[in-house]
Structure 1
């Protein structure tokens, strides 16, 4: 796996902290159309969900990461990069704990805090689907918060870039949210099928999840990949953690952007869709046990 095989642009860029990097978004209108826009937080509610999801996954794993780098972060002056950092919750959490290390986040949507943040944290506006605006072998730890809804070519490129900017002896880590399609009721099944249909139009086959482990292994610098996974049930039958995820799930699916995209596929009005999500779905989850899997993949660079 190498950058030369990717169709994505690799334009060199100059770092300017807390300001936009002029990478020029992927130029073709077709590529813009293919982006899953409703997954990008663009409201206070969406940003709040991103914060909650961070604490959800931290509780589930009882840690912010699975790579064995805690001691180095504590004792050394490490450099850490978060790809697609969103509102920066993961970085803010780590930067406050590991004061000796330096943290950087990149995202194309500048919803991260620009003023109220620790002095060891910098945010950069840049597109993760372009060549990362950093030299080779720059970071001790490179993290990707969530890989769901990224097509295989894009994910292959991102992984390649993560490895490129990681120092020898450093770590990369990716988080994947996977729907097991087990224990679901008719409403969740209908929602899942609508997502699958919507994503297929954008070259993402949710029923054929990319094997992230094999993608990482295919790079000669990261031949050994480790996996840490947690299974949980959404809704009341999943206990407290299930109820937290239910709130995230309901909030996401009741948002205007998701409603606009899924209603035509399901074939119902927005009014009926809202009732289905905030009333019928909540009732269904009382009697079902939909299973989900959250997986961390991590590897050490040779």
Structure 2
């Protein structure tokens, strides 16, 4: 659609394209979030990860997090799984392993296999009805004492201007049409606890959008703009806007409106243990 490759809705509800341009955006997003969070994880895993330990990146995308963790923990095995095989297959650390699979259809590992499991920004591709089954599967393949760490962006930008607020309403309606939860980030703690994890630790980081957030704020704004434009082929049709009107609104929001308001996102983090 619109010159971009998307998933068939019957295969995956993922709202963003599945192509090289999207991989570039995800790489940019990774490095921004790594800086914002002070690293690739926040849970206390250094005493947990030992020689022979196994780490899983669910929905690994192009695999940057997986590759970096393989370098940081060379004596552990790091696995990435994604429905799209856009990750490296040849030039990669020997302890990194990539698998093609739909994680909502079950995880292809035995019980008590992983020491640490990681999720980031899958609210754009996992249907609301599938989350509890996925959390239960995660708990199944996680070892007793193992840790799940889940990062999600609050889809509700704080202090948006009038055009941004209107387009966000359109985005939420579009997500709901695919049974995706635009508000998943604020529900992580409750959902993870319901799946049987214990002692969840919850935090969030506010990320300013635009130059008021310094260089990272500018990178974040550019990333949001690219993501918004990438969804145009299917969201514009749902909103009743022409593609030209949609482009014009997104350009105005990220080139002008965000500089007139103190817009920011809340990046939510929850980590929890499987005790037994």
Please report the TM-score for the alignment, with normalisation by the length of structure 2.
0.90
For 1:209 and 1:300, how far apart are their aligned partners in 2?
19
For 1:70 and 1:44, how far apart are their aligned partners in 2?
33
Structure 1 residue 245: deviation in Å?
0.5
Aligned to 2:264: 291
Structure 1 residue 239: deviation in Å?
1.8
Question: Bigger shift: 155-164 or 270-279?
Answer: 270-279
Structure 1 residue 268: deviation in Å?
2.2
Partner of 1:99: helix, strand, or coil?
A: coil
Aligned to 1:213: 189
For 1:53 and 1:280, how far apart are their aligned partners in 2?
19
> What do the CA deviations read for 1:203-250 (whole angstroms, capped 9, x no partner)?
235357662211211234x22111131011111222222111111011
Partner of 1:206: helix, strand, or coil?
A: coil
Structure 1 residue 77: deviation in Å?
2.6
Indicate which of 46, 50, 56 corresponds to 2:22.
46
Aligned to 1:32: 10
For 1:138 and 1:90, how far apart are their aligned partners in 2?
20
Contact 1:108 1:127 in 2 (8 A): yes
Aligned to 1:195: 171
Contact 1:233 1:290 in 2 (8 A): yes
Matched, 1:271 2:254: no
Contact 1:179 1:291 in 2 (8 A): no
Aligned to 1:62: 38
Matched, 1:237 2:215: no
Question: Bigger shift: 82-91 or 150-159?
Answer: 150-159
Aligned to 1:254: 229
Mind listing any 5+ residue stretches in structure 1 that lack a counterpart?
1-28
Contact 2:32 2:219 in 1 (8 A): yes
Q: Using a 3 Å threshold, how does the CA distance of structure 1 residues 52 and 83 change in structure 2: closer, same or farther? A: same
Contact 1:91 1:103 in 2 (8 A): yes
For 1:209 and 1:101, how far apart are their aligned partners in 2?
29
For 1:206 and 1:90, how far apart are their aligned partners in 2?
24
Q: Using a 3 Å threshold, how does the CA distance of structure 1 residues 80 and 209 change in structure 2: closer, same or farther? A: closer
For 2:78 and 2:218, how far apart are their aligned partners in 1?
32
Runs of 4+ in 1 over 4 A off after TM superposition: 207-210
Contact 2:221 2:254 in 1 (8 A): no
Partner of 1:85: helix, strand, or coil?
A: coil
Matched, 1:93 2:68: yes
Structure 1 residue 147: deviation in Å?
3.2
Matched, 1:114 2:67: no
Structure 1 residue 197: deviation in Å?
1.1
Indicate which of 132, 137, 149 corresponds to 1:161.
137
Structure 1 residue 55: deviation in Å?
1.1
> What do the CA deviations read for 1:107-135 (whole angstroms, capped 9, x no partner)?
11111111111000010111111110000
Aligned to 2:115: 140
Mind listing any 5+ residue stretches in structure 2 that lack a counterpart?
1-7
Instruction: Give runs of aligned pairs for residues 77-92 of structure 1, distance below 5 A.
Output: 77-92=52-67
For 1:208 and 1:44, how far apart are their aligned partners in 2?
27
Partner of 1:135: helix, strand, or coil?
A: coil
Contact 2:154 2:186 in 1 (8 A): no
Query: Aligned-residue CA RMSD in angstroms?
Result: 2.0
